[in-house]
Chains A and B, each alone.
Chain A
Amino acid sequence: MRVSVEITRRPEIADPEGTNIMRALTDLGHRDIESVRVDRILHLDIRGDDPDQVKLRVEEMCRQLLANPVLEDFRVEVGE
């Protein structure tokens, strides 16, 4: 089963990488950008038959390791 995990930095936490990319884009003439945020997507191939069970397990992995609860939120999507 293919699972996608989207890890996003909370809006209230600074994102220096996004801010600097925005500056570079602005310097290139793209002056209509209001913000850039850099997030992370992980793709997991995982054995299992029950999508709900798989989702619960991957959410547990997010809490354990994949996301930092101080900085980040996560969203898990189970595909085919």
Chain B
Amino acid sequence: MRTAVVVFPGTNCEHDVVHALRSLGGDAELVWHRETDLSDFDGVILPGGFAHGDYLRTGAIARFSPVMAEVRRVADEGAPVLGICNGFQVLCEAGMLPGALIANRDLAFICRFVEVEVTDTSTILTRNAELGQRIRIPLNSYEGNWVHPGSDARVALTYIDNPNGSQGSAAAVSNPEGNVVGVMPHPERASDELLGSSDGLVLLESFLQSLVPA
């Protein structure tokens, strides 16, 4: 089973994601954003970094990258689709996740470990975790402040100290089906004790276990 790790112009966490997935025995390949066929893949990760300069709004232009039609198809078929940081912003802009991401409450770029709590274990990001489990992973974003005018969103992870002002302290949000998830902090940057934490592994393992043959 293979995971497509999409690379937009400006993405910079793709190798970390591939490395972390492979360290867990997963099969992952980089896919350029102009790709129009993901039929060889069983799941997709949109990694962090930037995309098309993030002009206009973060993720606004990436949403129209050719690969996104396939990402939507894969998601509609029930396969796992995970957006990390900038990937979360792209999925919101694409309307595949509820809400939107705006500048952090205090207008600071936040780059540090944060603690999050698992609030829903029926998503592709959290199925292997325990409800209430606390996980320490790094946040690395300026536009990480999730807002959602409605109140019907599924929140998979919440911040303990809500560093960026996200509504409901949401750190990860899913679609109603639980197979499309956006997470603002980076599980791949906490995938080895050498990095200061391996707490992110349970999240990536959840993703890999959600893969079913296409």
Q: Which residues in A have some Cβ–Cβ distance to B below 8 Å? A: 10, 12-17, 20, 65-66, 68, 70-71
Contact = CB atoms under 8 A, between A and B. Distances in A.
B106 A70 contact: no
Q: Main SS of the interface on chain A?
A: loop
A13 B104 contact: no
A43 to B, nearest CB: 14
B93 A68 contact: yes
6 contacts: A10-B149, A12-B149, A16-B102, A16-B104, A16-B165, A71-B100
Q: Main SS of the interface on chain B?
A: loop
Nearest to A65: B60
B57 interface: yes
A10 B149 CA distance: 10
A17 B108 CA distance: 11
Interface residues of B, number: 20
Interface of B: 56-57, 60-61, 64, 92-93, 99-100, 102-107, 145, 147-149, 165
Given A65-B60, A68-B57, A71-B147, A14 B107 contact: no
A16 B93 contact: no
A16 B105 contact: yes
A20 B148 CA distance: 21
A16 B103 contact: yes
Contact of B147 (A14, A17, A20, A66): A14
